[in-house]
Homo-oligomer: A and B are copies of this chain.
Amino acid sequence: MSSSVVCFRCGERYDDETRVRCACGQPLWFDTPDTDFTFSDDRDRDGMWRYESLLPIERPDGVARAAGGTPLVRSPGLDRAAGCRVYVKDESENPTGAYKDRGSAVAVSHAIEAGADVVGTISYGNMGISTAAHAASLGRECIVLVPDEIPQARLELIAQYEPSIVQVEGDYGALYADGVALSASHPISILVSDAPARISGYKTVVFEIYESLAPNTPDAIALPASSGGFASGVWRGLRDLAALDLLDELPRLYLVQTASADPITRAFDSGATEPTALSPEETEETIAHSIGNPDPPSGARALAAVRETNGAVVSVTDAEIRTAQRRFAVDGGFCVEPAAATPLAGLTRLSERGAIASNEEVVIVPTGTGFKERGTGDVPVSTERTSRSALPELLESLLDAR
């Protein structure tokens, strides 16, 4: 177990494991723990907890134990759209349907161990749902800060676990700094998107990918990027594996943003080391509502991850996202939310520009289920209609029409 957090950029260390940001302004994370961890054949099937010795807490009971441990599957149906050999790491198969559970499973328990009476988060979507679920499972109160104009449907998804929900008027992006400050001054731990313990949870997705594919390794990993927290976790996992001598060459990291709010792509394209916050005039509505952070707090770390691994950051339009979401379902059998479809849309672009070869093996991480927003009753569906007696005839015509 680690006992300090460290700045990815300047290397400064802090004993306070709940501290989120370095004095230099960059985000902190846990360094590789000093253990003799290796991939083993043990029968530990507790999802991500088989990597317990690389995490800052011991495995808790309850829904946290159900986090991670998601399938990695070869999905040939998606090869054509991606332009390469696709493996899907299906993060929708988490208890609340999103990779966020890996982070909440670690961070909620970690906050309680560090002395917080109450946990909280700032989210109008998957992170709010996940944090509330994990707090409920541990019998702890939870406060979720949401924007004032949150859709009713999203409120319901968070509210089922019965946290306190606070709708906050004003600049929602500025709440990140408020949350960090309030956690320091009050008996609550507001677990922001890149809290170090969350990043520790996210890194387990990389351990699972490597253990599933061993002795092979993927050429690249593609994921959505918003705050930069998940990308940081993936990079942290790769660095842990390298530090433990379990990995020689890092796979290329491809981060995909929605073109409606893509400060990390803009920074990547301009060669900047950190993103510039976008003004409201520079962002648009997007169907990929789970991503699109105009001022990503771990943006600089995400950029560093991409550059160290010779990857790239690309943006995709809502039309491309819709196409990728359909391909996931119709060619892959996966129901993913729009944000989770972005990596496939990004691979389409990257392959077209020659950045990825058709024989390369690429892991796509769809980060969240589409079931949370499917089934509204608003989408037109075409069907056949028949009586029981006319069914054989209709079936024959359907079979003949193939």
Contacts and interface: CB of A to CB of B under 8 A. Distances in A.
Interface of A: 39, 41-43, 45-47, 61-63, 65-66, 69-77, 88, 90, 92-97, 117-118, 133-137, 139, 141, 143, 145-146, 148, 151-157, 159-162, 164-171, 174-175, 178, 182, 185-188, 208, 211-212, 214, 329-335, 369-377, 379, 381-389, 391-392, 394-396, 398-399, 402
A369 B379 CA distance: 21
A44 to B, nearest CB: 10
Contacts of A379: 156, 159
A165 B384 contact: yes
Contacts of A373: 375
A96 to B, nearest CB: 7
A218 to B, nearest CB: 16
Contact of A402 (B42, B97, B118): B118
Please name the 6 residue pairs, one residue from A and one from B, whose CB atoms are nearest each other, closest first: A137-B333, A63-B333, A66-B71, A133-B333, A170-B388, A65-B73
A74 B63 contact: no
A391 B178 contact: yes
B74 A61 contact: yes
A367 to B, nearest CB: 15
Residues of A contacting B: mostly: mixed
B94 A374 contact: no
A370 B133 CA distance: 13
B93 A157 contact: no
Nearest to A105: B333
A75 B363 CA distance: 32
Contacts of A369: 97, 369, 371
A130 B249 CA distance: 38
A394 B178 CA distance: 13
Contact of A371 (B90, B139, B187, B372): B372
A299 B88 CA distance: 38
B62 A159 contact: no
13 contacts: A43-B214, A61-B74, A66-B71, A69-B69, A93-B94, A95-B335, A97-B371, A167-B383, A182-B391, A186-B395, A369-B369, A372-B375, A376-B376
A134 to B, nearest CB: 6
Which of A117, A379, A381 has its CB near the most chain B CB atoms (within 10 A)? A381
Which of A69, A73, A76 has its CB near the most chain B CB atoms (within 10 A)? A73
